[in-house]
Amino acid sequence: MAHCIVPAAEDILDKEFPVLDKGFVRLVDYLGGDERIVQAARVSYGKGTKSYREDRGLISYLLRNRHTSPFEQVVFTFHVKLPVFVARQWVRHRTARLNEISGRYSVMKDEFYVPAAGDLAAQSTDNRQGRGGEALSPEKAAEVLDILVSGQKRTYAEYERLLGSVAREIARINLPLSFYTEWYWQIDLHNLLHFLRLRLDAHAQKEIRLYAEVLYGIAKKVCPLALEAFEEHEKGAVVFSAKEFAALKALLAGAPAEACGLSGKDLGRFREKLATGRQA
């Protein structure tokens, strides 16, 4: 089978999808699609299936049973513009290749992320990593935004002053985490799905979730059957621990979940899974 052409992917090549206030994601290139996944799988499983319905079934079977290597045959190259603090979360996913703009060679633009007032909230009382659910009052939000913006303006002005005195690699070092950077990011579908599984989760920081949602939409254009299977078996699925599964069986039999030894936070997480359909 020669190079796969996916018309829906061709339609969005090089198109900017905006994220946050100044960021974007662009699909620069792609290699393969659903056809490439089933072709690669048939090398292992024989002649296999040929109809669209059977291709869907094969892809679903592969994802459901975690036969991941056929998904690695599909590769995406993205151009992403994002704040540095999002980039530092992003690079926790090491199974990709990237090339980032360098402040050693380039004069960096005066571009910083400024959150919307509605996205400002105090520290969560039950989550050490994130903000709480209630937004700040309009007065407090205006105060916080003034601090952020004035700090960004002052820091960039100092950066420009330093450019006249020292090398760019030194001048850049005080630029804050809200500063926008850009990179080319290349990743195969298997590892992209792992990224999406984590970064689409409600517990991920909102800013990186917004990037994940755009990546998800682009991947769905390239591999609609694979993303359909991902929605069914990963994105929309809930995993139960051994104790939780025992508690679920107890509930179905009419017994209380506590009868299986769940208590405290473990019981709370189990009930949240049942109530929301999401990983707690």
Catalytic residues: 199
Q: How far apart are CA 214 and CA 143, in angstroms?
A: 31
Q: In whole angstroms, how large is the CA radius of gyration of the chain?
A: 23
Query: Could you tell me if 182 and 80 are in contact, meaning their C-beta atoms sit under 8 angstroms apart?
Result: yes
Q: Are 77 and 185 in contact (CB under 8 A)?
A: yes
CB atoms within 10 A of CB 134: 9
Closest by CA to 148, choosing from 156, 183, 240, 73, is 156
CB 148 within 8 A of CB 178: yes
User: What 8-state DSSP symbol labels residue 258?
Assistant: G
Beta bridge partners of 92: none
Ramachandran angles phi, psi of 29, nearest 5°: -160, 160
> What count of other Cβ atoms lies within 10 Å of the Cβ of residue 223?
30
Nearest to 75 by CA among 173, 159, 190: 190
Spell 226-259 as b/e; 16+ CB within 10 A means b. Answer: bbbbbeebbeeeeeeeeebebbbebeeeeeebee
| Cβ atoms 277, 239 nearer than 8 A | no
- For β-strands 75-83 and 97-100, DSSP reports them as unpaired
